[in-house]
Amino acid sequence: MNQAASWAKRSAAAVWHPCTQMQWLEEHPVHLIQSAQGAWLVEEQGRRVLDAISSWWVNLWGHGHPAIVAALKDQLDRLDHVMLAGLTHQPVVELSERLSLRTGGSLGHCFYGSDGASATEMALKMSAHYWRHQGQPNKNSFIALAHGYHGETLGALGVTDIPLFRTAYAALIRGAHTIPAPDSRIPGSEARSLEALATYLAAHQGEVAALILEPLVQAAAGMVFHSPEYVRAVLACCRHHDVHVIADEIAVGFGRTGTFFAYEQSGITPDFLCLSKGITGGFLPLSVVLTQDPLYQAFYAEGVDRAFLHSHSYTGNPLACRAALAVQQLFDETGILALNQARQAQMAQQVAPLFAHPRITQGRQRGMIWACEVIDPPAHFARRFHARAWEAGVLLRPIGHTLYFMPPLNLTGEELDFLVSRTLETLEEVLA
Ligand SMILES: *Cc1c(COP(=O)(O)O)cnc(C)c1O
């Protein structure tokens, strides 16, 4: 047995892997990664594999970016961790100020957690607690979009509508009211969704605290797009009915959709903004909820019972915040969003051969997200495609029949060519 196979075996025995049927690892063992640089993962003996999904959408600048590494090394010599109750530190202050600045100052208060699901939970709790402060404790239910994904802890699962993640735990969660999902591919779906929202709010606004959505792209649903006008209409409708909007930009924030935040394209600012995944460029776990001032002010009072009572041990960890600051710095220094904007036409041309494949339909792109549907896929398509693509040198994990790329923002033209050609090659093999 070679070294990688032996580690895979030990991993399967001792590590319970996420989102995985462990029995499948007998046929498809996990791959041992030795190192990573840029868009590339490196296996034993130096074989390189292109990480075309930024390792579950977190490695925004690829792996091991020297600027983030340098910032972390500097931070390691200064301060590892300190609790954030009664104490503070420079990275968390600077990061909060910079994120707030990105919203034009309108979301000026940052509350930190360690992962995306806890950001969802914090926003849900803040919203319901706010209404309680306003003397409306009955406003404590939530509206979510069909097929939406907001994390898998029990509270977050309540607003997540993906049966695969939810069914087994249904008895443990308090569900939300679900409105039909908008989908740019289905004419009239946005209008139908908005109509359902307006009808529901007209009858139930006294019970609803907030609506939660992933602006522009329902990612885990299979990269389902909707228009900025839809987001704008949702925000306007909720505001009209005195209901908060929580923008879950855990996946789509930080330039993924072409603008720094996806909600910007709607022209309206949400009440809460949840961020995680790309925030530290994949170096350390961190999440944050940004909140508007009037919401924050409702908690600002004499008694501790008026405060937002929520905490995590690692809240605002200095190392994570420092990595996040380095990520912010990279946006400023590289002008990556403008660069990619200028590359749009070129990139569309590069992906065209894939979208033109006879067994591919509904090719679509938004910012640095590409997706398409495979026509008439064979059984266990996603699993088989993932396995063959790895052999061909790319990390891809289709969602059902949906094939997608969400590579680092700084992917080069040559890397995109490599990705497209290896994807086509894999497609031929899997469909044969
Ligand atoms: C990944 C994701 C989450 C959950 O984040 P975790 O860090 O995995 O808990 C929530 N919302 C969206 C939109 C996501 O993509």
CA neighbor of 166 nearest in space, from 141, 189, 149, 180: 149
pLDDT on residue 44: 86
CB of residue 249 inside a 6 A radius of ligand 1: no
CB count in 10 Å sphere of residue 251: 26
The answer to whether position 380 is within a domain reads: no
pLDDT on residue 289: 98
| Domain-ending residue, one of 289, 318, 334 | 334
Amino acid occupying residue 162: I
User: Are residues 145 and 198 both part of a single domain?
Assistant: yes
User: Are residues 330 and 352 both part of a single domain?
Assistant: no
Enter the tokens of residue 399.
């969602």
Enter the DSSP assignment of 180: P
CB of residue 214 inside a 6 A radius of ligand 1: yes
DSSP 358-403: TTEEEEEEETTEEEEEESSPPTTHHHHHHHHHHHHTEE---BTTEE
pLDDT on residue 2: 86
User: Are residues 286 and 353 both part of a single domain?
Assistant: no
pLDDT on residue 294: 97
CA neighbor of 350 nearest in space, from 252, 426, 420: 420
Place of tokens 């993924």: 256
User: Are residues 175 and 230 both part of a single domain?
Assistant: yes
User: Are residues 161 and 255 both part of a single domain?
Assistant: yes
Which residues of the chain register pLDDT less than 70?
A: 1
| Domain-ending residue, one of 334, 355, 378 | 334
Please tell me the distance between residue 256's alpha carbon and the centre of ligand 1 in angstroms.
14
Report if pTM > 0.95. Answer: yes
User: Are residues 255 and 306 both part of a single domain?
Assistant: yes
User: Are residues 241 and 347 both part of a single domain?
Assistant: no
Please tell me the distance between residue 355's alpha carbon and the centre of ligand 1 in angstroms.
28
**Strand ranges for 215-284 from DSSP E:** 217-218, 224-225, 244-248, 272-275
> Residue 214 CA: which ligand 1 atom is closest?
13
User: Are residues 346 and 287 both part of a single domain?
Assistant: no
User: Are residues 201 and 75 both part of a single domain?
Assistant: yes
CB of residue 251 inside a 6 A radius of ligand 1: yes
Is 56 labelled a binding residue?
yes
Domain count for the chain: 2
For 178, counting Cβ atoms within 10 Å of its Cβ (0-12 exposed, 13-18 middle, 19+ buried), the class is middle
The answer to whether position 428 is within a domain reads: no
User: Are residues 314 and 209 both part of a single domain?
Assistant: yes
For residue 2, give the 3-state DSSP assignment: coil
Q: Which element (helix H / strand E) includes 327?
A: helix 318-334
d(CA 38, CA 60): 10
| Helix 381-392 and helix 413-431, axial crossing angle in degrees, nearest 10 | 130
> What is the length of the chain?
432
Is 421 labelled a binding residue?
no
Residue 350's domain comprises 342-365+415-420
403 has which bridge partners?
372
> Residue 115 CA: which ligand 1 atom is closest?
7
